[in-house]
Amino acid sequence: MSRIIRRLTVAAAAAATAVLFTAVPAAAHVEVESDDAQALAENAELAFTAESESATAGIAQIRVVLPKGIAPSDVTYGKGPEGWKFTATDDGYLVKGAALKVGADAEYSVVVRQLPDAKELAFKTLQTYGDGKVDRWIELDESGDDDGHGHGEGNPAPVLKLKAAAPGATPVGPSPSASASTSATPTAEESSTSPTPQAADTEKDEDDGGLSAGAWIAIAVVLVVAVAVVFVRRRGGARQ
């Protein structure tokens, strides 16, 4: 009995070790930093790092919803992964391109015409992988301006804390599209307009008129049952 218990203990320990080594690190997150992190700073460069959480696919797209006080027209692209493109949206921007290597972090920067007069700025982010999986970095802490969309729907949004404005600093004037900049929470469906590779393959199969995998499995089951029935009947007849 003691030998059996020892074997079960060793097996349980091995299984626990495997889980620990294959689990995705819980500390992964999206960060934003800036040497110009000061209220009303002009032409402020913000650097973002989106850490990979997938062991099977690389990051292919980053979507950001800008905080109040920053309009999409006030943001220009700095630098990022080779071949990636920057596109303004109604409430923020997209940075996307060919999927990075599995496990590689996505690093890029943008330049903001002028930072708003605030203590901190939250940049809600959707991080999409080449296989269609989406990480949602959209939650705000209790001190943030949550607007009812953040808690319980994802991970903490990257936040940039700002120093007080310099003496004499003033707003340069509202952007014509400032009203389009909100703190709305993006959804996974909005993160990309192109279908995932799996969806594209499914549509191709349907267009070609081919049978689905489920249909082939059903046919195989019917054939196996039919063969079994014939075999049983033959054996019964032989015994008689």
Which tens digit of pLDDT belongs to each residue from 91-129?
Answer: 999 999 999 999 999 999 999 999 999 999 999 999 999
Q: Which two tokens stand for residue 2?
A: 């003691």
The strand pair at 59-65 and 124-129 is best described as antiparallel
Lookup result for tokens 């943030």 = 144
Which tens digit of pLDDT belongs to each residue from 171-194?
Answer: 997 665 554 444 455 654 444 444
| pLDDT attached to residue 173 | 76
Average of per-residue pLDDT values in the chain: 75
DSSP 107-169: EEEEEEEE--S-SEEE-EEEEEETTS-EEEEEE--TTS--TTS-TTSSEEPPEEE-BPPPTT-
Confidence of residue 33 (pLDDT cuts 50, 70, 90): very high
The strand pair at 155-156 and 159-161 is best described as unpaired
| pTM of this structure | 0.63
Cβ density class 101-138: b for 16+ within 10 Å, e for less: eeeeebebbbebbbbbebebbbbbbbbbbbebbbbbbb
| pLDDT attached to residue 154 | 80
Confidence of residue 227 (pLDDT cuts 50, 70, 90): low
134 φ/ψ angles, rounded to the nearest 5 degrees: -125, 130
Confidence of residue 18 (pLDDT cuts 50, 70, 90): very low
Which tens digit of pLDDT belongs to each residue from 34-71?
Answer: 999 999 999 999 999 999 999 999 999 999 999 999 99
Higher pLDDT: 231 or 146? It is 231
Q: Which of 21-25, 28-32, 83-87, 172-176 has the lowest mean pLDDT?
A: 21-25
Which tens digit of pLDDT belongs to each residue from 119-163?
Answer: 999 999 999 999 999 999 999 976 544 443 334 468 999 999 999
